[in-house]
Amino acid sequence: MRAGGTREALYLLYSHYASDPRPRRQAEALRDAGWHVTVLSLGNEGEPPAFDVDGVRAVVLRTGRYRGGAVSQYLRAYGGFSCAALARVLRNGQHYDFVHVHAPPDFLAFSSLPLRWRGAGTLLDVHDPTPELFTERFGGRGSPVVAVSRLIERVSAGLVHHVLVVNEQVRRRLLARGIPAEKISVIMNLPDERIFWREEPAPLPETPVLAYHGTLVPRYGPQVLLEAAALLLPEFPDLTVRIVGDGDLKPALLERAAKPDLAGRVWISPERVPVHRIPEVLGRVSVGVVANGTEGFSRLVFPTKLMEYLALGIPVVATRTDAIADYFKKDELALVERPEPTLIADAVRGLLRDPARATESVRAARRFFTRHSWKLESAAYVALAEGLARRRDRARDASS
């Protein structure tokens, strides 16, 4: 705690802070509650070693980001970042009241241990459950890699005071693996109303625009959007596609977009876009496409981009996942059963042909926000952080 009673929080984040919505929303919630927040994260080329992002201090650990498909590449990238974070914590971590570890990797929780021993409250935030993620990428449930990931998850959860998850599906998985219910809280990934909310959605564009924003990996379906667009172009020759994001799939998307049936119809952002600029970069959109996978790990995902489209008043075509079904009532959201280009194209076609239906689909889906909002979620998160930070107060009082 700083002089004057200001709480100090440290985030450990194997990601780029400025363009990662969940940690950024959480850090800004603490900032607005009067905290001072420092984030140790990856950085972009050319960025200074430390800089301010809307009142949050970002410190860059230049360890390189994972790219590729081998377990060894994961371990090298994750391990390098965890060691760099631990070194920084050991050098300059005495004053933090609260440490928020963002996973994956789960074992980044080890880097928070020196601060826990000094009395700080510690939190592990499971963005993506690693056992399910590794099952999808590296083999079936019997894979040694998956078995080890379950063990690491369990041990890492034991190293912190509390565990945070993104939705009920993930909470159930952790409960089934033996993590106590009283140790787990759900804080959903929901749009920051200050950035994304529009009371009166903008008019639909004169010519059809399909959009995707977020991480460019196969399980989130940007490649499905391109194939669906290729199917729609003969019927809608003025159709264009906007893709905003970065990830392993970007080179393949650029190659696909250059082929004759899509040439000149697709724009892909050349670099990562900070969260607060996403509405501006997306512009006016006819349909936001969320073609997530529906098997394995992908079933657990409740897509933030889906909620951001709805908050902006953009009609959505999405695949049905277990997580989406948990939170939307029947008939509130039009869904397709599988992330197949023909199914996505058929659903998009229906909205493009009937703008009144598209507008009504947004109105029905936005009923979700009467039940859930970032305003409520952020208040719960700040209360949780305050409760964990008070552990350090008690430890300080006991030693005085």
Cα–Cα distance measured from residue 256 to residue 348, given in angstroms and rounded to the nearest whole number: 20
Share of the chain above pLDDT 90, in %: 64
Dihedral (CA of 65, 71, 76, 79) sign: positive
Q: How far is CA 331 from the centre of its chain?
A: 26
DSSP string over 281-349: HH-S-SEEEE----SGGGGG---HHHHHHHHHT--EEEE--HHHHHHS-TTSS-EESS--HHHHHHHHH
Q: In CATH terms, is domain 193-370 a member of 1.10.645.10?
A: no
Cα–Cα distance measured from residue 93 to residue 9, given in angstroms and rounded to the nearest whole number: 10
Mean pLDDT across the chain:
90
Q: What CATH number does the domain located at 8-189+374-399 have? A: 3.40.50.2000
Cα–Cα distance measured from residue 400 to residue 392, given in angstroms and rounded to the nearest whole number: 12
Strands of the chain, DSSP E: 8-16, 36-42, 50-53, 56-60, 98-103, 121-126, 162-165, 184-186, 209-213, 240-244, 266-268, 287-290, 316-319, 335-336
Confidence check: pLDDT of 140 > 70: no
Q: What is the pLDDT of residues 230-259, one digit of tens each?
A: 999 999 999 999 999 998 899 999 999 999
Mean pLDDT of 81-98: 90
Residue type, 149: S
Cα–Cα distance measured from residue 240 to residue 358, given in angstroms and rounded to the nearest whole number: 18
Exposed, middle or buried: residue 95 (CB in 10 Å: 0-12, 13-18, 19+)? middle
Q: What is the pLDDT of residues 212-235, one digit of tens each?
A: 999 899 989 999 999 999 999 999
Mean pLDDT of 165-177: 94
Q: How many CA atoms lie within 13 A of 20 on its CB side?
A: 23
Residue type, 221: G
Q: What is the pLDDT of residues 331-366, one digit of tens each?
A: 788 799 999 999 999 999 999 999 998 888 899 999
Q: What is the pLDDT of residues 30-80, one digit of tens each?
A: 999 999 999 999 987 778 899 999 999 999 997 766 655 677 787 888 899
Q: How many CA atoms lie within 13 A of 257 on its CB side?
A: 19
Task: DSSP letter for 203, please.
Answer: P
- Each domain of the chain, given as residue ranges in start order, spans 8-189+374-399, 193-370
pTM, entire model:
0.83
Do the two domains 8-189+374-399 and 193-370 of this chain adopt the same fold?
A: yes
Q: Name the strand (E) or helix (H) holding 85.
A: helix 71-91
Q: What is the pLDDT of residues 103-126, one digit of tens each?
A: 999 999 999 999 999 999 999 999
Cα–Cα distance measured from residue 144 to residue 120, given in angstroms and rounded to the nearest whole number: 34
